[in-house]
Amino acid sequence: MRSLLVGAGELCQPSVALLLDQRAQKTRSDARGHLDHFAVLKGIAGRRARKEVVEALLRQTNLWEVRWQKLGGYSGGMRQRFGVAVALLGNPKLMIVDEPTAGLDPAERVRFLNLLSELGENSVVLLSTHIVEDVYFSTMAGHHGQRRRQQQAREQRDDA
């Protein structure tokens, strides 16, 4: 990822993640090692820091129990979740997701869309899909998340 010069020698890292179709991803490495490699490429230099970030992302994407399994043996949903873990390295403020649920079984689609909804709490998630149900689900999840944040803000004001 290229750094941008902001001013007075100050560097700004672009904070955008792109998640493309993960079905073609075939590799002999395990998820933990592969994610660690991507962390190095993203500039997370310290071994301890990388270990903490990799562990947190594998847990967040529900891949911790299969972290030693080869990525080539992952199901489509597991590969998509691994792609999300890679995309989340560096805490992007914008995540662009292309056809995230294509080819997933119904239960995995719901789990994956729930994960994207959670990610939408801290960053903008742009969803590109032709599956109308995914758009509806994402819209409703965003609406419920917005209502939850409004309720939390009201509770904080009432407590103050």
Count Cβ atoms within 10 A of the Cβ of residue 49 and give its class: 0-12 exposed, 13-18 middle, 19 or more buried. Answer: exposed
Res 137: pLDDT: 60
Tokens of 35: 């994610």
Query: What does the pLDDT look like over 89-117, one tens digit per residue?
Result: 888 888 888 887 777 788 878 887 888 88
Q: CATH number, domain at 146?
A: 3.40.50.300
Pairing of strands 4-7, 10-12: antiparallel
Number of domains in the chain: 1
User: Which of the two residues, 109 and 12, has the higher pLDDT score?
Assistant: 109
What is the percent of the chain where pLDDT is above 70? 69
How far, in Å, CA of 51 to CA of 48, rounded? Answer: 5
Residue 143 structural domain: 4-21+29-159
Q: Region 39-61: what's the mean pLDDT?
A: 92
